[in-house]
Amino acid sequence: MTLRSGKLSCPSKYFLILIAIFFLGCAVTGPGGRKSLIFIGTDTEVNIGKSMDNSIRKDNRILSDTLWQKYISEIGQKIVSVCDRNDLQYHFAIVDSNIVNAFATPGGYLYFYSGLLRQMDNEAELAAVVAHEISHVVARHGIKRLQATIGVSLAGQIVFGKNPGVLEQVTNIGLGLTFAGYSRANENEADNLGIQYMTKAGYDPKATLTMFKKLALLSKDNPDFFEKLSMSHPDTQERIRRSETLIDSLQPLSSNLHLFHEKYGIMKSRLH
Ligand SMILES: [Zn+2]
């Protein structure tokens, strides 16, 4: 994809962009206080996410079941309450589709396909996917990749909001990147954070393993789902091994961790 170079030719505008980078940069990105250069601030990230959400809602059918909407939001908020990023609101939606998938956009917009919900057998398995997607937002994987793709000039234009057409351009690029999938390193980080968050939120993290195993079996027929992540056999096995090691490191686990099997069964029966 070729990007227009933009209209910011005046050196003083570039200077302003550099000043903005200086002030907005170095956002904290999760446990351990690791920092990285983020020059698209949270307000702009949320605007981009909102714009992507509008587009996603136009192109997909959102499940209208209010009980399911409430349920997925409750699961999400439980995990949000223990996660490392609370400078934005998280939004949870269910896409009414047989596709087995879930994804997150920058700015805290998260989507779960009813095809995925049907494959899960307890709330903790779904919480593992929810926690994984929240972790991509916490670690700012989407916005980092977007700013790396659009470059300083376009990012500067969207930060300063001078050109209304730029938001649409950046939205389209963001959507393309979202459906292209993340790097292996990003996936590993989201797996690790997700397991920690779901455990803190009171879910049994071992549900992550049953969830991965289930998706691995399904991927034999369809290797291109769950964020378009390649779920080929060795990769999935590696993810399961890494997750097992992390869960072992969290021992001893609290005896008050749950799967919520029955409650999930009732909700699952509402899906057609
Ligand atoms: Zn992921």
- 3-state SS record for 144-211: HHHHHHHHHHHHHHHHHCCCHHHHHHHHHHHHHHHHHCCCHHHHHHHHHHHHHHHHHCCECCCHHHHH
Amino acid in the structure at residue 161: G
User: What pLDDT score does 156 carry?
Assistant: 75
CA of 21 to the centre of ligand 1 (A): 27
Answer whether residue 7 is part of any domain: no
Is residue 55 domain-resident? yes
Question: Quick one: pLDDT at residue 7?
Answer: 46
Q: Separation of 184 CA from ligand 1 center, angstroms?
A: 9
pTM higher than 0.95:
no
Does residue 27 sit within a domain?
no
124 alpha carbon to ligand 1 midpoint, in Å? 17
CA 162 / ligand 1 centre spacing (Å): 33
Is residue 246 situated within a structural domain? yes
Does residue 149 fall inside a structural domain? Answer: yes
Q: Which residues of the chain fall short of a pLDDT of 50?
A: 1-9, 22, 229-233
pLDDT of amino acid 230: 47
CA distance 241 to 208: 11
Contact of 225 with 218, CB cutoff 8 Å: yes
Ligand 1 center to residue 1 CA distance, Å? 24
Report how far ligand 1's centroid is from the alpha carbon of 104 (Å). 8
- Residue-level pLDDT at 258: 96
Number of domains in the chain: 1
The answer to the question of residue 163 being in a domain is yes
